[in-house]
Amino acid sequence: MEEQRHSLHKITMAPSILSADFGYLSTEVESISRLSDWLHIDVMDGHFVPNLTIGPPVVEAIRRHSKAFFDVHLMMTNPENYFENFAKSGADSVTIHLEIGNTAERIAMARDHDLKVGLAINPDTEYELLRPYLSQIDLALVMSVFPGFGGQSFIPGVLDKIRRAREDIDREGYNVSLEVDGGVNKETIGLAAKAGAEVFVAGSAIFSHSDRGQAISELYHLALQALGR
């Protein structure tokens, strides 16, 4: 019965530009713009995670090359300082991390800028801390690696969190997309799909291939196959 409920959810691929060639970013974005409805954009501040990436000006620049839903993942200590700029630059949704605290206040701040709101938890964060916010958000992101760098291996221990989130979302009827990010590839996407994920962030599994369409299609069909479709 549980897998039948899962099968009702739309499978969405969200290519992560963290694995793209930043020297040809507009070309990279265009290479997948007709192949996926979502684009996942990782923003890191060098404080919450030990890495630095892009900011609102780059989001604004790539917006000109894509009509996709911009799923902006803010791995930042003070993301609220940038909500307005990301909204103006073309972001559709911002995902903040539960670990930084003041969660309800930050969700409200993002809503003030007409942004959809996601809430992420790291692999070592208890799922019970996320549950109370499911009624307040549009997207729940379960990290399957520790954030900061691409190309890491999927941590199987997060599958239980995905299953529990799926059960809560379905039971309560929340309009929340359940996303998984980290180490998603041909070997792991089926496991995450069976657990209940519906939005799959994939970086190197897509951008390391010359044929991006084939890479996205293979991942998509493996997720469907795992659900018996």
DSSP 141-158: EEESS-TT-SSPPP-GGG
Q: Mean of the per-residue pLDDT values for the chain?
A: 93
Cα Dmax for the chain: 47
* Whether the predicted pLDDT of 89 surpasses 80: yes
Let me know: does 7 contact 195? Beta carbons within 8 Å.
Answer: no
Task: Encode 181-204: b = buried (16+ Cβ within 10 Å), e = exposed.
Answer: bbbbbeebbbbbbbbbbbbbbbbb
pLDDT in tens, 211-224: 999 999 999 999 99
* Number of domains, the chain: 1
Strand partners, 142: 121, 180
State the pLDDT confidence band at 2, using cuts at 50, 70 and 90. Answer: very low
CATH number at residue 207: 3.20.20.70
Give the Cα separation of 53 and 41 in Å (integer): 10
Which of 112, 160, 181, 211 does the annotation list as catalytic?
181
Q: What's the rounded mean pLDDT across residues 21-28?
A: 94
pLDDT of residue 46: 83
Q: What pLDDT digit, counting tens, does each position of 147-186 carry?
A: 877 667 999 999 999 999 999 999 999 999 999 999 999 9
Q: Is 181 a catalytic residue?
A: yes
Single out the residue of 120, 121, 117, 122 nearest to residue 136, CA to CA. Answer: 117
Mean pLDDT score, 28-44 = 92
Tell me if residue 45 is catalytic. Answer: no
List pLDDT tens digits, range 109-157. Answer: 999 999 999 999 999 999 999 999 999 999 999 999 998 776 679 999 9
Range of the domain at 118: 2-226
Read off the pLDDT of each residue in 7-30 and give the average, rounded to a whole number. Answer: 90
pLDDT tens digits, one per residue of 54-68 = 999 999 999 999 999
Q: What is the per-residue pLDDT for 8?
A: 59
